[in-house]
Amino acid sequence: MSTLIAVAIVANLSACSDEPETEPVTIGSAPATAGPAITLDRELDEFGAFREWPSACDMVTDDTLQAFLPQIDEITRTPEEQEYQVHAEDLTSVPGGIFVPEARCKIAFHIPVGMLDSNEGYVHLDVLAAGSEEFVGLNLDKAEGTAMDVEGGECEAASDGIRCLDESKQLHFRMSFQLPHHGPSLKDPSRYEADGETVSFTTDNKDTEARNEFIESHLTQPILQSILDRLHK
């Protein structure tokens, strides 16, 4: 009888040890270059705005995303037009506002790991104001936030994303980044491999803050910095 119990215990331990762990998402490092410069040496209209605003879809390159997340196997970009009610440099309202063809963009990416295989991550970008320093200053889309430590601009983390003003004060934009949990089910932890170590976070509330800080320091802020670097060239 005791032999049977011992065999059963060994078999049970063996079965537990064979349970697969969640495959980790690999987090890489910044590419050698963040991409070509996003030039702000552009023609202004009579109101002080750029005649052609930078495209939100061009602000983060495929190479940058795949450097930080090398398991990405597909990237899609969905632009969205916006019409802004703005003020000209002389403080008057611009009649009819300004129409911007690619003011917003959702850059979605697919990683074939766990639940990420059917639940995409994304970078969401909005170009909020673009033009002369005076024009942008008059049309800042302000929100209460917490200052961030970045180079090449001023950024604040707000409830709806990170809002930044580039160093020249000619471009105001907002960025948010989302990387969903990827355990085989919501009960399983998400695992990440970065800097030679593997860390894991459950979906439990006790892990939320730690996971958010990890994603921000390893992905959100470096991707944001890549934009500022291209604006600073």
Q: Is residue 14 part of a domain?
A: no
Q: Report CA-CA distances (Å) from 45 to 49, 88, 113.
A: 6, 10, 47
pLDDT at 233: 66
Residue 116: which domain range?
A: 22-232
Looking at the 3D structure of the chain, how many domains does it have? 1
User: What distance, in Å, lies between the first and last C-alpha atoms of the chain?
Assistant: 77
Q: Is residue 67 part of a domain?
A: yes
Q: Is residue 161 part of a domain?
A: yes
Q: Is residue 41 part of a domain?
A: yes
pLDDT tens column, 6-64? 333 333 333 344 445 788 999 999 998 889 999 999 999 999 999 999 999 999 999 99
Single pTM value for the model: 0.88
Return the DSSP state at 87.
B
Give the integer Cα–Cα distance in Å for 56 and 53: 9
